Structure 1
Amino acid sequence: MSTTDDFDAEAWRAELEGYRDRKDEFFANERQSPIPADQRDAFDGLTYFDPDPAYRVEADVTPVESDETVVMETTVDTEQEYERVVELGFDVNGETATLVGYTGVGEDRDSLFVPFRDKTTGQQTYGAGRYMEFEVEGDVTEAETVTLDFNLAYHPFCAYNDAFACPLPPEENWLDVAVEAGERLPEV
């Protein structure tokens, strides 16, 4: 749970729901949408878990002091290279967990890519995992904590269109807990 004293749950929920509405609008109408053009008229919006501030957690930041790169396989049998930037330690659903935040090799470190799998993967959420990305002010390796909001976890574009090559979360980012927040599969 968030330990931030100035957290306004109502404002947070309104901002999250506005973000989701804008994303649905993009998916339904924009040329860059991953929804195939012939399916956009029938697109009725993405499916999400209900907003839950318990999945907005403070994570301790530990810089990764290594030049070793991580090669992530993708959904189309190719590979993409990333650099580990930080380890993010947090508690969720009563469990202590760690995720690694990455950047693409040679990219600026002003945003972090956090792909992950959890106990909902392949059941309630896309089988290849989900992603979080967030911008950071300044050098994230100098921060003591950052807020991870799993309510912003999303399915990669390949969940909607096989034409996309999406990195698969490496085993170091597989969580042993169910994260029932963010995008989910439609109920059938």
Structure 2
Amino acid sequence: MSASETTAPTWLDLLDWRRRVTEMYAEVRRRRSQDPVGAHRWWAEQRSELFRTHPQSPLPAEARGAFTGLPVWVYDPALVFAAHVRRLPEERLLVASSTGQDLPLVCFGRAEFGAHSLDLYWIDVYGGGVFVPFRDATSGQESYGGGRYLLDTVKGADLGSTSAGELVLDFNFAYHPSCFYDFRWSCPLAPPQNVLNFPVRTGERMA
């Protein structure tokens, strides 16, 4: 086996990445119930460590040596919501990705919180998963123009639900898709239905 074969990321590396992200969010859910601010700080530290050290890091290999951590805004408790989920007739659609490929989604509901709402999507590929992307007034200026993600259960990013069945939307845990860090990654972009008209200065931000 050549040196390149031993250092290149493998499918097992991807499996390990997803396992670790799933375990991380399980711990986030546990910590949030006791100490939301501490849970957020721990989440940012763990993500930064994965970005710095893991073979499946979205960061290009040449950028990891100088990497000092993911920039995040200060935790804001005003941007934490228990969203009522209103079921909608299922609608299949294609959403553009950062590389121009279309991703099949099924819009199945709407998360309503205060005067705002975000459509909920099921990623319509094998295995599937709930997906909640969004853009806001910071997109393209203080955060990635293609939007950020709140939930992506295919990757294990899941903040859970309340005992009443409301969906937890904590914007402090909003994160950039992989394509923000390296254009070679293909990421679905937030559709026009999921654009918020106010700035969400929580979660991950540009440097």
**TM-score, normalisation: structure 2:** 0.76
Structure 1: segments with no counterpart, 5+ residues: 1-7
Instruction: Give 2:180's match in structure 1, choosing from 159, 163, 175.
Output: 159
String of CA shifts for 1:85-116, please: whole Å, max 9, x gaps.
Answer: 2200112xxxx11101111115557x521011
Distance, in Å, in 1 between the alignment partners of 2:141 and 2:181 is: 16
Deviation at 1:31, TM superposition (A): 0.5
Deviation at 1:137, TM superposition (A): 6.6
Deviation at 1:29, TM superposition (A): 0.6
Percent identity over paired residues: 33
Partner residue of 1:119?
137
Instruction: Give 1:87's match in structure 2, choosing from 110, 129, 148.
Output: 110
Structure 2: segments with no counterpart, 5+ residues: 1-31, 152-156
Deviation at 1:17, TM superposition (A): 0.7
Partner residue of 1:3?
none
Superposed, which structure 2 residues align to 1:92-107 within 5 Å? 96-106=115-125
Distance, in Å, in 2 between the alignment partners of 1:129 and 1:174 is: 9
String of CA shifts for 1:5-44, please: whole Å, max 9, x gaps.
Answer: xxx7871111111111010000001100011111100011
Q: Which has the higher contact order (CA 8 A, sep 6+)?
A: 1
Amino acid corresponding to residue 171 of structure 1 in structure 2: P
Amino acid corresponding to residue 147 of structure 2 in structure 1: G
**TM-score, normalisation: structure 1:** 0.83
What RMSD, in angstroms, separates the aligned Cα atoms of the two structures? 2.3
String of CA shifts for 1:114-150, please: whole Å, max 9, x gaps.
Answer: 0110001011101111111153879x9xx65222100
Instruction: Give 2:54's match in structure 1, choosing from 30, 38, 45.
Output: 30
Distance, in Å, in 2 between the alignment partners of 1:169 and 1:137 is: 21
Say whether residues 1:76 and 2:94 are aligned partners.
Answer: no
Q: Which has the higher helix share?
A: 2
Distance, in Å, in 2 between the alignment partners of 1:116 and 1:12 is: 22
